């Protein structure tokens, strides 16, 4: 699931429709299930911010607003070709993986 989300958020591949289908077909952990329920209802209309929040939840089990916004901003810059932002995206996700849920 990580690779598909990262590919979409950083490079726009796979397409959002394909990503949604892949996410819904995957077995998700308990913290991700509410996100997947929303994704099932919205399909391709799922906001990218929700996909970023899902990515964060998959790493640490919860989504802190500030972290989600920071990851989203890094992903946007990376998608625009900023290689430093691509590294920042991965560094942010690696860092939150060590944070335990509140």
Report yes or no on 71 lying in a domain.
yes
> DSSP class of residue 100?
P
- The residue range of the domain holding 60 is 2-96
Per-residue pLDDT at 28: 81
Per-residue pLDDT at 98: 55
Report yes or no on 87 lying in a domain.
yes
Buried b (16+ CB within 10 A) or exposed e, 61-83: bebeeebbebbbebbbbbbeeee
The total number of structural domains in the chain stands at 1
Report yes or no on 65 lying in a domain.
yes
Per-residue pLDDT at 97: 63
pTM of the predicted protein model: 0.90
Per-residue pLDDT of the chain (102 residues; tens, 9 = 90+): 899 999 999 999 999 999 999 999 988 888 899 999 999 999 999 999 999 999 999 998 888 899 999 999 999 999 999 999 999 999 999 988 654 444
The residues, ordered by sequence, that sit 6+ positions from 35 with a Cβ below 8 Å of its Cβ are 28, 50, 53, 54, 57
Report yes or no on 101 lying in a domain.
no
């Amino acid at each position: 699931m990580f690779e598909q989300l990262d590919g979409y958020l950083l490079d726009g591949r796979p397409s959002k429709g394909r990503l949604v289908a892949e996410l819904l077909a995957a077995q998700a952990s308990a913290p991700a299930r509410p996100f997947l329920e929303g994704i099932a209802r919205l399909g391709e209309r799922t906001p990218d911010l929700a996909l970023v929040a899902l990515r964060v939840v998959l790493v640490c089990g919860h989504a802190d607003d500030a972290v989600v916004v920071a990851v989203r901003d890094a992903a946007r810059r990376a998608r625009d070709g900023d290689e430093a932002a691509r590294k920042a995206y991965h560094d942010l996700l690696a860092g939150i993986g060590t944070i335990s849920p509140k």
